[in-house]
Amino acid sequence: MEYLDFEIPVKELEAQIEKAKILQQESDTDMSKNIDELTARLVKTRKDISKKLTAWQRVQLSRHPNRPYTLSYINAMTEGNFLELFGDRGVKDDKAMIGGWGMLGKESVMFIGQQKGVNTKMRQYRNFGMANPEGYRKALRLMKMAEKFNKPVVALIDTPGAFPGLEAEERGQGEAIARNIMEMARLKVPIICIIIGEGASGGAIGIGVGDRVLMLENTWYSVISPESCSSILWRSWDYKEVAAEALKLTAKDMLKNKLIDGVISEPLGGAHVNPIEMFETVRKTILSELRKLKKLPPEKLVEQRINKFCEMGVFNG
């Protein structure tokens, strides 16, 4: 387990509990009272930390090295009943964007989502979750397939941005994202989008137009990352904390501004502390939302979706 700077008190308590457990085993002395007390303190510490989380700390949690990624969610939620599909039928298969058919109980669902890597080698293989145009086109191909077979789409979003490379430009990154947004707006099946980590700008909204757009508690979603915002508006990398506050990028703020439809609670301490619990919460949320959405005829669904996005924005006059 890795720890962020503000998680250090947790780390110390966990180490003490671990020590007490070992001592109990080795010396056959009853440490249970001690362990209970430490565990209570651990819970309290976690509660105290999560109560005081700043916007920047939530950004850090959204990138926590132990945070579960898209495929972990899908594999857990479908209990391994997942048929992954590959390729955009034009250029290649983008490893930063995954997708395929999964079963949520009796419900057949088309999953799409950005995938980050779990170690250095895999991070490179997955291009750090930054999709190229072919990734967005692969996602669109799969969404169209879902529409053809009248099955819902679930998009799990976790990206530091669409890849800003030379070939991405040559192959039309802007066009690929634009087309996805337009086609998602009028797709005739239910779409649920969930930000499970980072929701960076065009890279996120490129698979982010849904009947329900939900954010996990410790994620961020905005037009730019706090670091880049700091660099552009303050002309320095040192204002990322200030930028994170100013951008109002947390789940709570996004809901308050009516730019998302709901917040999904994370286990105490964050998704990485108890991934199993997290997967189960997300699975239940998807199923309960799908039950509601499936009652709507496709025309109504599309109309409501388009109207929802058309109402976003604040102005005078």
> Which residues are near other proteins by CB under 8 A?
162-166, 168-175, 177-179, 181-183, 185-186, 201-202, 205-206, 208-209, 221-224, 229, 232-234, 239, 243, 246-249, 254, 257, 259, 305-306, 309-310, 312-317
Nearer to other proteins (CB atom), residue 268 or residue 296: 296
Give the CA-trace dihedral at 93, 216, 275, 35, to 10 degrees.
160
Nearer to other proteins (CB atom), residue 38 or residue 194: 194
Q: Say which amino acid occupies 61.
A: L
- Could you give the C-alpha distances from 63 to 108, 116, 141, 212, 251, in angstroms and in order? 30, 10, 28, 23, 15
Nearer to other proteins (CB atom), residue 214 or residue 224: 224
Nearer to other proteins (CB atom), residue 103 or residue 302: 302
CB of 296 to other proteins, least distance (A): 17
Pairing label, strands 262-264, 212-216: parallel
What is the DSSP-derived secondary structure letter of residue 193? E
How far, in Å, CA of 240 to CA of 41, rounded?
A: 32
CB of 205 to other proteins, least distance (A): 6
Q: Say which amino acid occupies 296.
A: L
Nearer to other proteins (CB atom), residue 51 or residue 235: 235
CB of 102 to other proteins, least distance (A): 25
CB of 119 to other proteins, least distance (A): 22
Closest CA to 101 of 33, 40, 35, 148: 148
Nearer to other proteins (CB atom), residue 56 or residue 73: 56
CB of 155 to other proteins, least distance (A): 13
CB of 185 to other proteins, least distance (A): 4
* Rg value, the chain, Cα: 21
Residue 205 near residue 223 (C-beta atoms within 8 A): no
Q: Is the dihedral of CA 245, 72, 162, 185 positive or negative?
A: negative
- How many C-beta atoms surround the C-beta of residue 63 within 10 A? 16
CB of 158 to other proteins, least distance (A): 16
Nearer to other proteins (CB atom), residue 10 or residue 195: 195
Residue 78 near residue 104 (C-beta atoms within 8 A): yes
- Could you give the C-alpha distances from 174 to 18, 133, 183, 202, in angstroms and in order? 51, 8, 14, 9
